[in-house]
Structures are given as C-alpha cells and as structure tokens.
Structure 1
Amino acid sequence: MSHAPLKLLTLAIALSTAGAHAATLVEKDGSYAQVPLEKDKVVIKVVQNLTKNLQDFPTIQEGLAHNLAQMTDLTQRACTQGKKPDFILFNEFPLTGYSDGKREDKLKSTITIPGPETEALGNLAKDCDTYIIFGSYARDDAWPGHILSLNAVIGRDGKVAEKFWKTRNVKNYQPGMEIPTTTIENVYDRYVAMYGEEELFPVLRTEYGNIAVSTVQRDTMVYNAFAMRGVEIMFRTATLFSKLDVMATASFNNFYSAMSNINFPADSEWASMGGGSLIVSPRGEVLAEDPSNNEGIIEAEIDIAKFREGRKIPPYPVEITRPVFEQYQQAFPLNHLDVPIDQLPDDGAEMKKLMDRVSRWNTRE
C-alpha cells in the first residue's frame, strides 16, 4: 500500500502552515484551559499486578479473557476497598502482556481501542463511577501493519475518553535491537496531518483535573511539553522504570504523578525491577507506594482544588536556552517509520538496522 496521497496531503498542510500553528498550544500568560472541578479532593488508585502474555495461552481469545477477568477483579477490589476511587491506573500492558517474534505474530497479540475489552471495562467504570486508565499494544485500521503502544482513558460514562499515543521510544534499548512499535515521533508528519498539533501532547480536561498519560521514561522535554499544555495529574505506565525519574519529573514540572508498574515472576531475572508503583506530589514527595513485587493497590487523596488555586505553568528558561537547542540535531529524524507496509521492520533486530541506517550521528563509513 502506498502512502503517496497522504504524504502529498501532509506536504500541502506543512506548506500552508509554515511558521504558524493551527491551534494555540500554550497560553502566553502562563494560564491554561480548565473545566470546573466537580469536587475539591479526588482519589487516585494505582494497581500493580502480574500479567500473562497472550502468546503463552493456547489462543489469543483465551488469553484476553483471562487478563480481562483479572482486570475486572482488581477493578472491583479497587472500587470496594478503601476510599471510592476517581481514577484507577493500571500498567503498560494489563490485557496483552508482552509479545515476541515477527511483526505478523505480534499484531495478533494486540487489541483495538475502542473494542470489546474497552466496552467491558467501560461497564466497570460506570458501575464504579470512576475513570479507568491502562496501556496496551494496539492495532488500528488507519495504520495497517503498525503496532501501536497506546494508553486508554475510559470515562465515568463507560466510553473511551482519550487514546494517548506514545510520544517516542527509548533508544539503544538493548544491544542488537530497538523497539519496533510505532510512536508519534516516527510517523510525525502523518500523525499531525490526521489528528492535528493538539494531539502531539494532548490534555484531557476532566471534572477532576487536567490529566495526561504517557509511557515515556527519562525524557524530560516530553514532560515539560505536557506541563506547558496544562497537565495537573500525569499518569504514567512503564516497565523497568526509575522511581527517581517519577519523583523528579513531578517536582520539575509542578504536577501530581502516578506510576503503575507490572510484577515479574519471583524467579524472573527482572524480579528486582517489578512493582514499586507510586503516587507523588508536585514536590516529588511520595504519597503512596508499594515497594514490593507483589500484587497490590495503593491510593492517595489529593486536594486538586487547592493545588489549582492561582496556579500557572512552570517558568521554563526557553529563551535563554534557545540558541543551544536551535543548533542541536536529533540523532534520529522524524518519520523514520512512515514507510510502506512491506518495508516495516519485522522485529527488534530489523528495527536496529533501520535506526542505524537513518542515524545522523552514525559516523561510520
């Protein structure tokens, strides 16, 4: 399938808006868009659990049924134990787990959002009167052949309120491989042409505060951008994460944050990196934490109304740093995965070859 017509559309949009933005992304006076709060204090609950990979089941359908049943049980526990939640955060892949192998095999271990699973979770959200947030491998007919890493937010009405694409993947992930999932960065022009600039760093303005969700780790500027857009609560889903990263990012950007991590089997080489889910304040202080690698649910109540009083976005030193940033060249260019289906890398090893080929920092002859 050729992307030529879409690329022409993208070029036309780029030429017509050169030097301008179609939407106001950041207010010039430090304020940011909000909707009225329904109440002063909200309760965040974070679930950490061990998820089985869909590839480990006899069929994908059996795996999804098992993992959905587990999410259902944990959601019901979160709704009936402790304070009533306003947000329930799950990890990066509670429905699909991880997948291995070639692209065709990995695509089988994905879901659609919305889809049957989000419909079932939507019923739980309505019953509990809460937002449910989770990450997943996903597929989309608008992006044939692409494996997406999405974070879904299901509203109190049971409908998908927002789908947050992953901004970018970590680079040099492991020797000999790179993550082959599709992100905003690696299909940037096409993404903006389809969804608009506001969806680069989208903010869901809810009656409980402005929220966003991301799987990105150790990427300071990504979270700076979310904060500039008016995020008040930054939900995060990641694996093998850094506690310091979560605390420092919240403190530097003056927002609340919550991280849900998966558990690993006790005999796994990654067991020491499992669990540790936490909720932190805008000062980077830990409000709740489960330091174990065990299944659990943590909670924290935050005074979102008090936090919002007189709040402005952080005063970043954009102008003084501009000369340096203008001369900086990213190692990997945008759009490096916007290729025909038959040219998409089949696995992490092929993705590594693609990244080496397009790298601007690769000085080898």
Structure 2
Amino acid sequence: MALRNMQLNFLAPAPLKILTVALLLTTACAHSTTLVEKDGSYATVPLEKDKVVIKVVQNLTRNLQDFPTVSEGLAHNLEQMTTLTKQACSAGKKPDFILFNEFPLTGYSDGKREEKLKFTIEIPGAETDALGKLAKECDTYIIFGSYARDDAWPGHILSLNAVIGRDGKVAEKFWKTRNVKNYQPDMEIPTTTIENVYDRYVAMYGEEALFPVLRTEYGNIAVSTVQRDTMVFNAFAMRGVEIMFRTSTLFSKLDVMATASFNNFYSAMSNINFPADSEWAHMGGQSLIVNPQGQVLAEDPSNNEGIIEAEIDIAALRKGRKIPDYPMDVTRPVFSQYVPAFPLNHLDVPVEELPDNGAEMKVLMDKVSRWK
C-alpha cells in the first residue's frame, strides 16, 4: 500500500501530457501493428484497370482416397483443374480471377489422422507449380482450397486457400479462421485453424495474418472457407477487403448475399458438385457471384459442372469508399462480457495428443467447453 501511495504521489504533479504519452505507449505495446485505420480508410495499390472479370468453376472432385495411389489421384484431379482452367481462359471474357472450390485437388477423406495426412498437399508444391504455369499463360489469378500439410505444423491437417498470381507464384495462402462447432452429434471437424492454435500462429506469422488482405492490381482480396460467421467477415471488411472469395462446401446462398451486403464488398462462392445419387446432391453446385448490395450477378443453379462469370467495376466501388461503420461503441458492453464456448488454442497440443478423428475431436471439444 505504501508503495502504491508513493507511486501516486510521484505521478500527481506530472504534466497531463506525460501521462497521456505513457498511456499511448502502453496501448501501442498491446497492439504494435495497425490492423484498422481510425479514419475508415484502408491501404490499396493502384488499380491496373477499372473493371475486372471473375470466373467461378464448380466441378465434381474425386477423393484421393478412392485412387490406387495418391500420385494417381493428384494427377487426375490436377488434369481436371487444368482442363477447366483452359476452358475458363478460352471462352467468354478473359478472366482476371478464377475461383475453384474447397478441395479440387484432394477431395474429402476420412479415417485416422495419420491416414488423412497422406491425402494432403504442400503449398507451395508440385501442384501449385503446375497451376502457376497455367496462371502465367492465361495471365490470371487462380484461387482454390485444399487440405494441406506443413513441416512447421507436424501432424496437423490444415485447411488452406491458395492464391496463385499472374506471375505463376503463390501470392498468398489463407488459413481457415475457425471451424463450425457442434458439427454433428458424435463428431467435430479435426482440422487445424487459426482459432485453435491462435497464440502460436500469431507468434509465427504476426497479427496481420489473422485476417490477411492481398492487395492486388485488381483490388483488395481475401479468401475464406468459413461460413455463417458474421464477425469473421466483419473483420475482413475492416481490413479493407473489396472482393471476398469463398470456398465453403454445403454453403448457404443467403449467407453469401447477406455477408456481401452487410460488408459492402463483392463476393464469389465456388461449391463442389456431388454425385447425382448422393444424399447431398441437392446441396451441390449453385455457385454464385454477388455485388456489394447482395444482388446476384451470376449463378449456376445446377449440381452440374460449369463455369460462371461476371465483370465487376472495382474502380467504382473503391471511389470514395470507407470501411463499414459498425456499431462497436454501443455494442461493446455486451461483447466485453461475452465468453465463447470454446477457448483459443485448444488444438495446440503435442503431436501425440492430437485427436485422431472427428469422434476424438468431439471428446476434446466437450472437455474444453466453457458452456457445460
């Protein structure tokens, strides 16, 4: 108590300016990186042209698990992507962005973790090198999702979205922010996301990588597999996203339209196709492109292979644009008391303790849940 009084007596005569500087320095140390500008502006690079063309591919992908070998499966799926990319580049207007679905190279896989890791790719890797040649030939960005592995994250199955630039190189890879919770009564999604290894992720890549923005000559873009997570897309919008590319399987059309409208950005969603006799066939395809008012610019309502396109006026969107004006101050008292059901870092465990499958992930999630 005496020490506290001594500190207060010492500070009492200090000029207000010194106290203000001290407080500012304390705040700066908490967040050394500027993630959102205070005046509503956001960083950009000059546009190469006023209007850009987005093309979205939807197709049926075979699971690597269904092939005699992984290499045969990757070769087959890569050839399919190659054919569809060439179609997108040769028909209609020249594309500036070509968007594929959540896993056009790997498909989905089940089983134990060690087995599923075999059905992942590295980014960058041989497959992105091959797609990079196509991107360079077509002079376009190619965007796709994939299950991936990374030597920096041994044992972890990552859900990434890769952006290959016009120069043929991987321009950015976007981690999935978080998984849907309460996915099924007896299982949870066991892939690694930013949320479930948060502290280590930030230590390795920095706070800017939480909601990264790729500033291109065709506009500010980001890619996400998240769905029905309003606040995630609010954060991307605060960071200056102008085109939100999405790769969510079993997605909601309303979610895509509403999210674009709420956040004043263009958005495109690519969905996979399901076999006609699948119980999920009614949820396949239906890929779409929407404008910042949530209006549909292009859509394939079928569950068939196809390519849709839309030309967007990115210069008109950017003119005088600010980030959305969210009601942060009035909602802060409520949000400050909200406690999420699941804590951060729940999958940052030793490799041998990583859940082997969805059922084990369910056990882990139930164990760490704050909402008992």
Both structures adopt the same fold (TM-score exceeding 0.5): yes
Alpha-carbon distance, 1:18 to partner: 8.6
Instruction: Name the residue aligned to 1:207.
Output: 217
CA distance in 2 between counterparts of 1:337 and 1:166 reads 14
How far off is 1:174 after superposition?
1.1
Instruction: Name the TM-score, length of structure 1 as normaliser.
Output: 0.94
* 1:179 maps onto 2:194 in alignment: no
- Equivalent residue, structure 2, for 1:312: 322
Larger Rg: 2
Residue in 1 aligned with 2:109? 99
Letter in 2 for 1:274: G
Please give the alpha-carbon distance, in whole angstroms, between the structure 1 residues aligned to 2:31 and 2:216. 25
Asked if residue 158 in structure 1 is aligned to residue 168 in structure 2, the reply is yes
| 1:114-142 deviations in Å (ceiling 9; x for gaps) | 00000000000000000000000000000
> Given residue 50 of structure 2, which amino acid in structure 1 is its aligned partner?
D
1:332 to 325, 334, 342: 342
Specify the alignment match of 1:291 in structure 2.
301
The amino acid that maps onto 1:32 is Y
* Equivalent-residue separation in structure 2 for 1:22 and 1:90 (angstroms): 36
User: Given the superposition, is the C-alpha separation of residues 168 and 157 from structure 1 closer, same or farther in structure 2, using an over 3 Å criterion?
Assistant: same
Indicate the SS of the match to 1:66. helix
Counterpart in the other structure of 1:34: 44
Please state how far the C-alpha of 1:22 moved relative to its aligned partner.
2.2
| 1:352 partnered with 2:359 | no
Sequence identity percentage: 86
In the aligned structure 2, how far is the partner of 1:196 from the partner of 1:187?
Answer: 13
Spell out, residue by residue over 1:213-243, the C-alpha distance to the aligned partner (whole angstroms, 9 max, x if none).
0000000000000000000000000100000
CA distance in 1, matches of 2:31, 2:166: 33
> What are the equivalent positions in structure 2 for 1:261-272 lying under 5 Å apart?
261-272=271-282
Give 1:233's match in structure 2, choosing from 230, 243, 250. Answer: 243
Q: Deviations over 1:247-290 (max 9, x none)?
A: 00000000000000000000000000000000000000000000
1:70 is matched with which residue: 77, 80, 83? 80
Query: Which whole-Å CA distance do the structure 2 matches of 1:19 and 1:340 have between them?
Result: 30
**In structure 1, C-alpha distance between the alignment counterparts of 2:27 and 2:214, rounded to whole Å:** 25
Residue ranges of structure 2 left out of the alignment (5+ in a row): 1-25
* CA displacement 1:131-162 (0-9 Å, x = unmatched): 00000000000000000000000000000000
Does 1:258 pair with 2:280?
A: no
For 1:113, which of 123, 127, 131 is the aligned residue? 123
Structure 1 residue identity aligned to 2:37: E
Q: Indicate the larger mover: 19-28 or 71-80.
A: 19-28
Q: Counterpart of 1:47?
A: 57
What's the secondary structure of 2:65's corresponding residue? helix
Aligned residue number for residue 224 of structure 1 = 234
Structure 1 segments, 4+ long, off by >3 Å, are: 16-19
Aligned AA (1:92): E
What displacement does 1:94 show? 0.1
Q: How many Å separate the matches in 2 of 1:105 and 1:81?
A: 40
Q: Give 5+ residue unaligned stretches, structure 1.
A: 1-15
Q: What residue number does 1:10 align with?
A: none
Which residue type is aligned with residue 271 of structure 1?
A: A
SS at match of 1:327: coil
The residue identity in structure 2 corresponding to 1:337 is L
The 1-side partners of 2:189 and 2:287 are apart by: 23
Judged with a 3 Å threshold, the aligned counterparts in structure 2 of structure 1 residues 17 and 341 are, in CA distance, closer, same or farther, namely farther
Matching residue within 135, 148, 153 for 1:143: 153
Question: Partners in 2 of 1:78 and 1:173 — Cα distance?
Answer: 34
1:249 corresponds to which residue? Answer: 259
Count of aligned residue pairs for this structure pair? 347
Deviations 1:328-363 (A, max 9, x none): 00000000000000000000000000000000001x
Task: Provide the secondary structure at the position in 2 that maps to 1:300.
Answer: strand
Aligned AA for 1:152?
A
Relative to the length of structure 2, the TM-score reads: 0.93
RMSD: 0.9
For residues 360 and 27 of structure 2, what CA distance do their matches in structure 1 show? 35
Establish whether residue 167 from structure 1 lines up as the match of residue 177 from structure 2. yes
Q: Which amino acid aligns with 1:185?
A: E
Indicate the SS of the match to 2:336. Answer: helix
What is residue 3 of structure 1 aligned with on the other side?
A: none
The 1:294–1:243 alpha-carbon spacing in structure 2 relative to 1, beyond 3 Å, is same
| 1:191 paired residue number | 201
Query: Does 2:21 align with 1:24?
Result: no
